[in-house]
Each structure stands twice: as structure tokens, then as C-alpha cells.
A = this chain, B = another copy of it.
Amino acid sequence: MDRVFNFSAGPSTLPLPVLEEARDDLLNYKGCGMSVMEMSHRSQDYQNIIDTAEADLRDLMKIPDNYSVLFLQGGGTLQFSMVPLNLLRNTGKADYIVTGTWAKKAYTEATKFGDIRVAASSEQDGFTWVPKLGAADFRSDADYVYITTNNTIYGTRYNYIPDTGGILLAADQSSNFLAEEYNVGDFGLIYAGAQKNVGPAGVTIVIIRRDLLGHAPENTPVYLDYKIHADKGSMYNTPPCFSIYIAGLTFQWIKKQGGVRAIQQHNLEQATKLYTVIDNSSLFNAPVQAEDRSHMNVVFTTGNDELNAKFVAEAKEKGLVNLKGHRSVGGMRASLYNAMPDEGVDALISFMKDFELANR
């Protein structure tokens, strides 16, 4: 089979030019005589790779100088622990907005380490919308407020940045990192697993304001202290070198696409095209409240489990794969991360129209 259109929620499709470059250099990176996978992380060749990746990311996100950029392991799950361990630095209180499975897991994990409160949750409505909160909704002495800017499973996004009244804001941007423009200065900490918009699973990017480093309790497991990594340029221990390399190639690809603003515009066009088809369909519908719809993860359904399964199976035969919704939601989900080509969205839309004609 030729390359398919891969609508997986993550790990997911990567830009073809990134994969081609990685393939061409796989046995011998730019004539240095070895694969990036074989390179000492202490070598100048590898230092150049990670330095370039960081510089390109800083450029793409306009990251201020008083923020550190870290390339870590352990995924979002390790961040669920690291965020409270490092940010509960004064009162030990934090307020979480629970907008999906991952936000809830982050909240539950944080309760091990402090006085954690759910500021709001949309769970009672199946996480089909995002609460709109302002400064009055948070404890004024909280050490931080925690949000998940895009909810992969339920297909929602924040269409606003909460005014926390000056409380530090921490954000899981795993599924819309580099897919939407943010002002980094609005956050004390941003993190993202790479396996949606950036690269292979196995590297998590953390952007943290430097004054927040150094507050982890003394008995914190060493790997879980951001300061350790910041002080050593993500080289306290051997980093996930190859995954960082691929992320770096993706950063360069995003620059070639015109940067984050251009990518965001493109993502919005793709998502709008797909939501419009769903909204105009008599077979498909989207459960998410219109104003909170994700540009990354488009959730839809026929309302009939059997028909949904048929849709997913027939789509797969046409090279449109991983359209099955998350088990906790059912139905379908088309993830349109940065690397999804227009041809993929167009092919999906064309198939949806054919399927509707054949099954109404």
C-alpha cells in the first residue's frame, strides 16, 4: 500500500519532507559518518542539532529570553507530576479546569502533592464544551491555574486565555502545540508531548519561566526537577536524541510553511471545511458546542454505532485510516494536525459525501 492519510490522534502523521530527510540521512548524517541514533549526545554534531532545534522553536513561538526550553522524556504523564512538584512553591494550592480525560488525570495526579481544586469541569456534558472562567473563579492564593488548551479526545479547544487575575497559568498544549499562535508570556509554563504536531513519541517539550525553576522539594526524584534540566541544557542525562532531531526537522518545516500564524490559518481552513460538511449533512453531526470546536481533532458521528463502524472500515479501504473515535466517546474523530495535507481532508470529505449518499 502507498502512504495513507493518517487521521490518528497521536502518534500521527509527520511532514513527508521531514521523513524523507531523516531517511536520506539515516545511515550517515550529513556526511559525519554515522546515524543521529549513533551519535554521542556530547558530540559537537549533536550539540548543533539540539541547539538549532531550540533556536528554531524560540523563533517560531517568539519565546522570551527569560524562559527555558527543555526537551524531556516521560510524556504528558510525567508532566502531570512535574508541574505540581515544581510549581506548588508557596501555598501548595492549585486550581485545575477539567475539560477532558487528560486534564482530569493531571488533576488527580496533582492531588498527591498539594491542595488541588477543580475550578470548573464540563464532565457532566461529556466534555463537549469548555468552561469560560475569569479571575473571580480562582483562589486568589493559588500557586497556579492549570488548563489543557486542546482536548484531543473530545475535540474541544479554548477559544480564549483565562484571565487568572495574575495567578500563574500552566498549560498542556500537547495537541495544539505549534498549531495555534500563543503569547508565551501569558503562561508560566507550557508543555507538549511531541507526538501530535512535532515528532515521534518520546520527547516532551517544556517551556518554563526561569524564576519558576528551583522550587521543587528536596526529596523530589532528580529527573522531575525542571531546574536540573534547565541548568544542563536538557543534557543532564542522555536526552531522546533522535526524537529531538525529528522535532527539529519539523520546526524547520513549519518555518518553511510560513510559521505558526500561517499554519494556524491553514489548520483553521481545513477544520472549517470539514465542520461545514458535517453541519450540512443529514447523516453526520458534531457533538461539540460550535464555539469550542478543536481545529485539530474533529469529532463526529452518525449517531449509529453500526454505521460508524462501517464508515471507519470503508474509509480504511480507501486509505483514510485511524478515523475511529476514542473509546470513551465513540463515533469518529479526524485529527488534522499540522502535517495533514489538504489532499487528505479533501479525500475524507469526498468519501463522507459518497458514504452519506449510499447510507441515508
- Say which residue of B6, B11, B40 sits within 8 Å of A8 (CB atoms): B40
Q: What distance in Å separates the Cβ of A51 from its nearest Cβ neighbour in chain B?
A: 17
- Say which residue of B2, B33, B202, B236 sits within 8 Å of A243 (CB atoms): B202
Q: What distance in Å separates the Cβ of A240 from its nearest Cβ neighbour in chain B?
A: 3
Q: Report which residue of A23, A201, A224, A246 has the largest number of chain B beta carbons within 10 angstroms of its beta carbon.
A: A201
**Is A78 in contact with B221, judged by CB distance below 8 angstroms?**
yes
Known: A40-B11, A202-B240, A242-B242. A1 touches B32 (CB 8 A): yes
What is the CA–CA distance of A82 and B73 in the complex, to the nearest angstrom?
Answer: 15
Nearest CB in chain B to that of A34: its residue: B6
Chain B residues near A10: list those with CB within 8 A.
Answer: 40, 238
Nearest CB in chain B to that of A4: its residue: B33
Judged by a CB distance under 8 angstroms, whether A14 is at the interface is yes
**Is A74 in contact with B74, judged by CB distance below 8 angstroms?**
yes
Q: Report which residue of A9, A13, A219, A221 has the largest number of chain B beta carbons within 10 angstroms of its beta carbon.
A: A221
Q: What distance in Å separates the Cβ of A223 from its nearest Cβ neighbour in chain B?
A: 5
**Is B26 in contact with A23, judged by CB distance below 8 angstroms?**
yes
Chain B residues near A85: list those with CB within 8 A.
Answer: 221
**Is B109 in contact with A222, judged by CB distance below 8 angstroms?**
yes
Q: How many copies does the complex hold?
A: 2
Interface string of A205-245 (1 = CB under 8 A from B): 00000000000001101111000000000001111111100
**Is B35 in contact with A242, judged by CB distance below 8 angstroms?**
no
**Is A81 in contact with B37, judged by CB distance below 8 angstroms?**
no
Judged by a CB distance under 8 angstroms, whether A308 is at the interface is no
- Say which residue of B14, B75, B80, B242 sits within 8 Å of A38 (CB atoms): B14
**Is B14 in contact with A35, judged by CB distance below 8 angstroms?**
yes
Known: A3-B28, A27-B23, A33-B1. A74 touches B223 (CB 8 A): yes
- Say which residue of B26, B76, B240 sits within 8 Å of A26 (CB atoms): B26
Judged by a CB distance under 8 angstroms, whether A321 is at the interface is yes
Near B by CB (< 8 A), chain A positions 235-261 give 236-243, 246
**Is A238 in contact with B75, judged by CB distance below 8 angstroms?**
yes
Q: What distance in Å separates the Cβ of A326 from its nearest Cβ neighbour in chain B?
A: 10
Chain B residues near A195: list those with CB within 8 A.
Answer: 238
**Is A8 in contact with B202, judged by CB distance below 8 angstroms?**
no
Judged by a CB distance under 8 angstroms, whether A265 is at the interface is no
Q: What distance in Å separates the Cβ of A216 from its nearest Cβ neighbour in chain B?
A: 11
**Is A241 in contact with B202, judged by CB distance below 8 angstroms?**
yes
- Say which residue of B19, B222, B236, B240 sits within 8 Å of A37 (CB atoms): B19
Known: A221-B109, A223-B78. A242 touches B241 (CB 8 A): no
Chain B residues near A31: list those with CB within 8 A.
Answer: 1
Chain B residues near A199: list those with CB within 8 A.
Answer: 37
Q: Report which residue of A81, A113, A223, A243 has the largest number of chain B beta carbons within 10 angstroms of its beta carbon.
A: A223
Interface string of A107-128 (1 = CB under 8 A from B): 0010011000000000000000
Known contacts A11-B41, A19-B35, A73-B240; 9 additional CB pairs below 8 A are A3-B28, A6-B33, A10-B238, A40-B322, A73-B73, A75-B238, A202-B202, A202-B240, A221-B224
**Complex A-B, nearest 8 residue pairs according to Cβ-Cβ distance, in ascending order:** A202-B240, A4-B33, A81-B221, A73-B73, A37-B200, A77-B237, A23-B26, A8-B40
